[in-house]
């Protein structure tokens, strides 16, 4: 592969939407603010797998839309990761969940989420899908 990338991995993730806000979590090792994401589990669609990750990583349960809003890329350990992202409309925010001791979780405005996220492609995707005050669009409900 090019540019020192040794392997390509595909993942799926969600933009967890709670009313007019976004739920973010921290990455386990870096502590950066991210969305729930992970490898697509065998026997599950990318959207279903992403919803499962959101349950485990962020303690959210809701309705995932099976139509991706976009993809973003990142490299880690000389590997390229391409993440397909789906909206998840949260119905329940759990008080306790599987990875609560490993991650922080915050419910923030769209503008705050965009400011907190590390990946530029993901920032643009969240801003474009949800709408920010500067974009003139209204948040998706």
C-beta separation of 48 from 65 below 8 A: no
Whether the per-residue pLDDT at 139 is higher than 90: the answer is no
Q: Is residue 70 part of a domain?
A: yes
Whether the per-residue pLDDT at 12 is higher than 80: the answer is yes
Domain that holds residue 101: 7-133
Q: Is residue 138 part of a domain?
A: no
Overall domain count for the chain? 1
pLDDT of 60-106, one tens digit each? 999 999 999 999 888 888 889 899 999 999 999 999 999 999 999 99
Q: Pairing relation of β-strands 70-76 and 79-93?
A: antiparallel
Q: Is residue 95 part of a domain?
A: yes
The DSSP output letter for 130 is H
pTM score of the predicted model: 0.86
Q: Is residue 140 part of a domain?
A: no
> What angle is formed at CA 46 by the lines to CA 110 and CA 135, rounded to 5 degrees?
25
Whether the per-residue pLDDT at 8 is higher than 90: the answer is no
Using DSSP, state whether 76 is helix, strand or coil: strand
Q: Is residue 40 part of a domain?
A: yes
Q: Among candidates 27, 13, 113, which has minimal Cα distance to 60? A: 13
Q: Is residue 141 part of a domain?
A: no
Q: How many Å apart are CA 97 and CA 57, to the nearest integer? A: 8
Query: In the numeric block, which tokens belong to residue 59?
Result: 């303690």
C-beta separation of 60 from 88 below 8 A: yes
**CATH (domain of 53):** 3.90.79.10
Average pLDDT of the chain to the nearest whole number: 89
Q: Is residue 59 part of a domain?
A: yes
Q: Is residue 127 part of a domain?
A: yes
Q: How many Å apart are CA 132 and CA 110, to the nearest integer? A: 6
């Amino acid at each position: 592969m090019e540019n020192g990338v040794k392997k390509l991995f595909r993942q799926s993730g969600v933009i967890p939407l709670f009313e007019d806000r976004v739920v973010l979590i921290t990455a386990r090792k870096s502590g950066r603010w991210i969305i729930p994401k992970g490898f697509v589990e065998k026997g599950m669609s990318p959207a279903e797998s992403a919803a499962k990750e959101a349950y485990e990583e962020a303690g959210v349960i809701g309705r995932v839309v099976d139509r991706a809003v976009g993809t973003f890329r990142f490299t880690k350990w000389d590997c390229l990761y391409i993440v397909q992202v789906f909206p998840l409309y949260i119905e329940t925010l759990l008080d306790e969940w599987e990875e609560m001791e490993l991650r922080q979780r915050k419910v923030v405005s769209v503008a705050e989420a965009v400011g907190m996220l590390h990946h530029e492609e993901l920032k643009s995707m969240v801003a474009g899908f949800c709408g920010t005050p500067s974009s003139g669009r209204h948040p998706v409900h």
